[in-house]
Amino acid sequence: MSAPSPTEPEGAPEEERDFVRYLFWRLRPEWRWRPKPERELGRQELATVLTHPPRDLTLRAFSLVGTKAGTQGLLWMVTPRVEALQELESRIWGTRMGSHWEISHSYLGMGRRSEYLDEHAHAGQEGGHVVLGSKPYLFVYPFVKKREWYRLPFEERRKVMGEHFRIGHKFPSVEIHTGYSFGLDDPEFILAFGADRPEEFLDLVQALRPTEASRYTELETPIFTCLGTTVPEMLELAEGRSL
Residues carrying an active site annotation: 141
Give the amino acid at 91: R
Cα Rg, the chain, nearest whole Å: 19
Omega before residue 222 within 30° of 0, cis = yes
Give the amino acid at 7: T
5 DSSP assignment: S
> What does 36-104 look like in DSSP terms, one character per residue?
HHHHHHHHHHHHHHHHS--TT-EEEEEE-TTT-TT--EEEEEEES-HHHHHHHHHHHHTSTTGGGEEEE
Torsion of CA 141, 147, 152, 153, to 10 degrees: 80
How far is 41 from 201, CA to CA, in rounded Å?
38
Strands 19-27 and 58-63, bridge-based pairing: unpaired
Cβ neighbours, 10 Å, residue 187: 21
